[in-house]
Amino acid sequence: MSSELVTYTSKDMIATIAINRPEKLNALSNDVVAQIRDAFIRFRDSDDRCAIVTGTGERAFSVGADLTDPPSDPELWECMPGVGVDVDKPIIAAVNGYCVGGAYVLVQFCDMAIADETADFLYPEAQVGLCGGLIAGCAARIPYKIAMEFMLSGKHFSAQRAYEVGMVNKVVPKGKHIEAAMEYAEIFRDSAPLVMSTLKRFIRNEVMPRGPSEQAALARRDLLAITRSEDQKEGGRAFKEKRKPVFKGR
């Protein structure tokens, strides 16, 4: 990836995808969103069997959308696993520091989450008048009343509170979040890939409810694939050149 706003490293069939913008508290700009999306595509198509998603620096996993360069093209949903990119391999979020707004949505769409004791979860969109709607999926993943408190009140959830209500799987001492995530990643790496991918598809496609914004994003994803395809460019060229197009299905 060109500017390394998101890094991708692979070791022993475990990928680590890190938002690498610590001076901006790993805020999600257009370029960051595009590079997270590309990292998930790379992971999907690789021999890596599990991925850990994290942020660099000690202060934040990510503070969410960069309000000076808010994601618009690509849109934020494009970097969400299971929405922008279907990934049938396990993804673990490793969180420290602030995890705000769209960054929490990213954690929400991962399969597991590990938080160190500094993690601070916050969804303030109702207080600032912004919303993309993907957060609605929170109510399918944790108890309804807790989800409504988190989505609507703008109150901070500590790492311990997040664990108690099911937002994260484990809380560990400061700085140990990636190490703890790696313990799970090694289990997944050594487990049967066909079983894990089948279970992920069953749950994603048949068990887990999808909110309106998620459903709209999935339709938009499929339409964008056509818009950005070589076939669409070939169709336009063939029309201008008054010839029969040669489509390749990509």
- Report the domain count for the chain: 1
pLDDT digits (tens, 9 = 90+) for 166-181: 999 999 999 999 999 9
Provide, rounded to the nearest whole percent, the portion of the chain with pLDDT above 90. Answer: 93
pLDDT of residue 3: 64
Point out the least confidently predicted range of 1-15, 35-49, 103-117: 1-15
Alpha carbon of residue 155 to chain centroid: 22
128 domain-assigned: yes
Condensed to tens digits (0 to 9), the pLDDT of residues 60-83 reads 999 999 988 888 878 999 999 999
Q: In the chain, how long is the greatest CA-to-CA distance?
A: 66
Is 103 domain-assigned? yes
Task: Name which of 61, 83, 205 is nearest 136 in CA terms.
Answer: 83
Distance CA 186, CA 170 (A): 16
Is pLDDT at 2 greater than 50 in this prediction?
A: no
Q: Order the strands of the 157-158 sheet from edge to edge.
A: 60-62, 98-100, 120-122, 157-158
> Can you give the CATH number for the domain in which 46 is found?
3.90.226.10
pTM of the model: 0.92
Residue 232 domain-assigned? no
pLDDT number for residue 133: 93
Could you list the residue range(s) of the whole structural domain that residue 42 is in?
6-191
pLDDT confidence band for 130 (50 / 70 / 90): confident
